A and B are shown apart, each in its own frame.
Chain A
Amino acid sequence: EGPQDSAPVTSLHSLAVTSEQIEHLHRRFKQLSQDQLTIRKENFDSIPDLEFNPIRGKIVHAFFDKRNLRQESDGLADEINFEDFLTIMSYFRPIEMNMDEEQLDRFRKEKLKFLFHMYDSDHDGKITLQEYRNVVEELLSGNPHLEKESARSIADGAMMEAASICVGQMGPDQVYEGITFEDFLKMWQGIDIETKMHVRFLNVDTIAHCY
């Protein structure tokens, strides 16, 4: 029994990780799932390093978000298997040397889409002011010095800037409904996110084996 048996070939190719890295991830998966075949939200509670993360909830949520799992339906999954786990991990793979323009563009879009889903909690395809405030509040949570108003003003300022970039000058009656994914992409044009949103594996061969 091995991870290679359970995952179909296509998803492995898109991950572009070596079989050793998959073994590592599989071992980690088994550790988190306590030797079960699927992971539930509660399993992420056993990671002490994660406790400190203010957006811990959103990160865990992202693992179960069906949009990230490339499933047709919407909403949240109750549990995910190893293949799903790898699918989510693939959003954080680093750039490879041999990528061409089209691949790079797709690569970048995927990462931004992942981020977009994190903000858009009601899955309606738009980041509203309330959702934005939500994220900022979480980021600043646990800080006794900042009151709720600061979080609000940050969110409001950000939304206004987003609106000005995406829609241009707004008339007094115009209401900016929310940031769509296209607007989101525009906001991040020219900014290098690929090197910020990845986790790079060390090239290790722990145990030599031959075939």
Chain B
Amino acid sequence: MEVVWAVGQVGALWVAVVLGLIVLPSALGISLGISEAYMWVLVKTLEWATIRLQKGAKKPQPPRTPTANGIIERDETPMEKEIALLHRADFEFSHIFYFCRKGFEAIVEDEVTQRFSSEELLSWNLLTRTNVNFHYISLRLTVVWVIGVIVRYCFLLPLRVTLAAIGITSMIVGTTVVGQLPNSSVKNYLSEVVHLTCSRILVRALSGTIHYHNKENRPQKGGICVANHTSPIDAIILTNDGCYAMVGQVHGGLMGIIQRATVKACPHVWFERSEIKDRHLVTKRLREHVADKSKLPILIFPEGTCINNTSVMMFKKGSFEIGGTIYPVAIKYDPQFGDAFWNSSKYNIVSYLLRIMTSWAIVCNVWYLPPMVRKEDEDAVQFANRVRSAIARQGGLTELPWDGGLKRAKVKDTFKEEQQKNYSKMLVRNGSVG
């Protein structure tokens, strides 16, 4: 009996601490500085761990180069120059070298598949999952690692799960309550408060540290916000700082419940599965939303799938045909503290969330870019590329002309033919035919 009472006391204390230190500040939008202190301790520990690792290595370490660009040195000499370098008359011999080498480079690593596996770190962050060859290094380091595991799984994980539960529940309850009110400015204000609060709680549930830059460019009502996509939490990262109307497919389960609740309070745009296939219908609905200047800006991720945050892939042009003002946003995660990338072919959503919640923290930078409008002589594809370049440049990501759909599908024939035509044009120009 006493045991039950004691457990009850501990439980109550726990909830009180969580509410007081986390939920309440979230609602009021203030920060107690706990996250900052945590991050400071974390950074110091990881620096120490890295120094230990470097000391432990017998050989002197050669200067490191970032691996984001691959493991082989690509010879960027354009094909024309290369072929000119070989003096032989037989042109096709030169061509064969070029294509042989390109073929081998592609086999050793190709730009596309690289983007669908997590970015490699230059130093270890005490998570075994990022250390592919975990070697025993020193007792002290192992002890720190074990402490790290205990802290992450026994302390951080339950805390985060509690917070996430509180966040999601309050979102559902809050939006349902607000949804009962008649449409008015009070309702809109309350809906914003609820969304912001729950978003903040969820960000704390991930130990998220987000730096927002250029807040003066924040998306305005009646606009469209586009961002690069790395993980499902991108949406939470953005809604932490502003209110958006989400666009997406109706899901079942918990996600569906959240969707149904939130749409009552705030005009999110949820499509049925059958509706998504009809592009005109989708565009029409989004146009109507954007035309109403009192509605919140829509949030779209034009890549269509999660990329590993080292590059930006092709933007689907659909979002850029709607019209209106586009507010580009660049999101760059710092992989040092936790890898936010969701490799959906490798992990399902639950194991992904588990990984996120047992990482140290999610640290990211968000840049709001100045708004862009489609020029008169531009078509949707060119406009999409222009926006994509701006995002890639700001976030320090590379641009790839590839389609995110390549994660699962093969290269489109039209694209292949384009490449072949370029090569042939070059041959004819060289006058080496006939």
Task: List residues of chain A with CB under 8 Å of any chain B CB.
Answer: 21, 23-25, 27-28, 31-32, 44-56, 59, 89, 92, 115, 118, 135-136, 139-146, 150, 153-155, 157-158, 161, 191, 193, 196-211
| 21 A-B contacts (beta carbon < 8 Å) | A46-B113, A48-B112, A48-B113, A48-B402, A52-B411, A54-B99, A55-B100, A59-B100, A89-B108, A115-B100, A136-B92, A145-B428, A146-B424, A146-B428, A154-B434, A158-B92, A191-B88, A197-B100, A202-B72, A206-B122, A209-B133
Interface size class of B (residues with CB under 8 A): 35 or more
State the Cβ distance, A179 to closest chain B Cβ, in Å: 11
Among A32, A59, A144, A155, the one with the most B-chain Cβ atoms within 10 Å of its Cβ is A59
The chain A residue sitting closest to B54, CB to CB, is A208
Closest 10 CB pairs of A and B: A143-B424, A142-B420, A49-B106, A49-B110, A59-B103, A210-B56, A52-B419, A209-B135, A210-B57, A200-B73
**A198, B421: Cβ atoms under 8 Å?**
no
**Partner of A202 from B70, B88, B120, B410 at Cβ < 8 Å:** B70
Question: Shortest distance in angstroms between A88's beta carbon and chain B's nearest beta carbon?
Answer: 9
Chain B residue with minimal CB distance to A52? B419
Contacts of B56 in A (CB 8 A): 208, 210
Q: How many angstroms between the C-alpha atoms of A211 and B104 in the bound complex?
A: 32
Q: CB of B213 within 8 A of chain A?
A: no
Q: How far is the CA of A25 from the CA of B421 in the complex (A)?
A: 32
User: Is B315 interfacial (CB 8 A cutoff)?
Assistant: no
Of B110, B417, B425, chain A has the most CB atoms within 10 Å of the CB of B110
Across the interface, which residues of B come within 8 angstroms of A200, CB to CB? Answer: 72-73
Q: A143–B100 contact, CB under 8 A?
A: no
Q: Which residue of A lies closest to B420 (CB)?
A: A142
Q: Let me know if B58 and A52 touch, CB within 8 A.
A: no
Q: Chain A residues with Cβ under 8 A from B124's Cβ?
A: 207-208
B99: which A residues are within 8 A, CB to CB? 53-55, 59, 139
Q: Report chain A residues within 8 Å CB of B150.
A: none
- Judged by a CB distance under 8 angstroms, whether B62 is at the interface is yes
Q: Is the CB of B86 within 8 A of A135?
A: no
